[in-house]
């Protein structure tokens, strides 16, 4: 049996909008199916659309001159893409692509910006969200420098699970290596250790969290810090 399509309010930012502002955006909402690898923001290209994930996961990546890449942030159902538009920056140096396929709500960036500039509930909600983006980025920078790969992998899997709203995350070891900034062999070894502890099960591009409480206990404190800040602001 097919699963019912998620409601636009599966996105936590849209869910927090009061009815009057949700109704302003509603005629402009377009439900889209995103595939793994789709690039929704290109570097140095004006951002034309904001994407509000429903059950997919987007990834912002920094790439160096030698081609090495590392994730600098992910966007799930708790957020949206295209923050530079709100900050009058129009474009960014970082590409954003689809990491885990699924559905999202697409709205023209000009529409979101117009409602944001009115200074109502949307502006307060998105300002809080932008704060969490800074917190996640700062915490991830420290995490990648100070914590061992198994704990970092546990944190990433938990955050990704929260982002797609499922204990199953569709992701390959190759992309996990990019996300964590390590070699593929390191990801395979770390994932094997988590599986040996019966915390996860992985198979052909999918990771299933089998013991969420155990995985949270194994993860570094970065996951709980970020989650607590988001819950403080959004409940």
Return all residues near 229 (Cβ < 8 A) that are at least 6 apart: 132, 135
pLDDT in the model for residue 167: 93
Its pTM stands at 0.89
Burial of 200-215, coded b for 16+ CB within 10 Å and e otherwise, reads bebeeeebebebeebb
Rounded to 10 degrees, the C-alpha dihedral 87/91/92/98 comes to 100
> Can you spell out the DSSP letters for 189-200?
HHHHHHHHTTSE
Backbone torsion region of residue 173, taken as left when φ is above 0, otherwise alpha when ψ lies between -120 and 50, otherwise beta:
alpha
pLDDT in the model for residue 220: 79
Q: What is the pLDDT of residues 41-73, one digit of tens each?
A: 999 999 999 999 999 999 887 777 776 666 677
Q: Where are the domains of the chain?
A: 8-141, 146-234
Looking at domain 146-234, does it have CATH number 3.30.360.10? no
Angle 97-116-137 (CA atoms, 0-180°, nearest 5)?
40
Q: Which two tokens stand for residue 184?
A: 């593929």
| CATH fold for domain 8-141 | Jelly Rolls (2.60.120)
Q: Which of 4-13, 149-158, 176-185, 225-234 has the lowest mean pLDDT?
A: 176-185
Q: Which two tokens stand for residue 189?
A: 């070894």
CA distance 107 to 109: 6
CA distance 141 to 163: 19
Q: What is the pLDDT of residues 77-121, one digit of tens each?
A: 999 999 999 999 999 988 999 989 999 999 999 999 999 999 999
Across 152-158, average pLDDT? 88
């Amino acid at each position: 049996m097919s699963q019912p399509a998620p409601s636009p309010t599966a996105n936590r930012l849209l869910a927090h909008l009061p009815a009057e502002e949700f109704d302003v955006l509603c005629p402009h909402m377009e439900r889209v199916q995103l595939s793994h690898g789709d690039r929704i923001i290109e570097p140095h290209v004006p951002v034309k659309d904001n994407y509000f994930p429903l059950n997919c996961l987007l990834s912002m990546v920094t790439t160096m001159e030698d081609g090495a890449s590392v994730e600098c942030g992910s966007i799930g159902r708790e957020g949206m893409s295209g923050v530079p538009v709100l900050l009058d920056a129009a474009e960014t140096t970082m590409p954003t692509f689809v990491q885990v396929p699924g559905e999202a709500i697409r709205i023209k960036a000009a529409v979101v910006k117009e409602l944001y500039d009115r200074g109502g509930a949307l502006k307060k909600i998105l300002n809080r969200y932008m704060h969490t983006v800074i917190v996640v980025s700062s915490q991830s920078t420290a995490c990648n420098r100070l914590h061992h790969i198994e704990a970092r992998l546990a944190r990433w899997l938990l955050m990704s699970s929260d982002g797609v709203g499922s204990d199953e995350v569709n992701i390959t070891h190759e992309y996990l290596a990019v996300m964590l900034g390590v070699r593929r062999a390191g990801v395979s070894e770390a994932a094997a250790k988590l599986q040996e502890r019966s915390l996860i099960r992985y198979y052909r591009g999918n990771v299933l969290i089998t013991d969420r409480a155990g995985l949270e206990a194994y993860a570094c404190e970065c996951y709980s810090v970020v989650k607590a800040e988001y819950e403080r602001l959004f409940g």
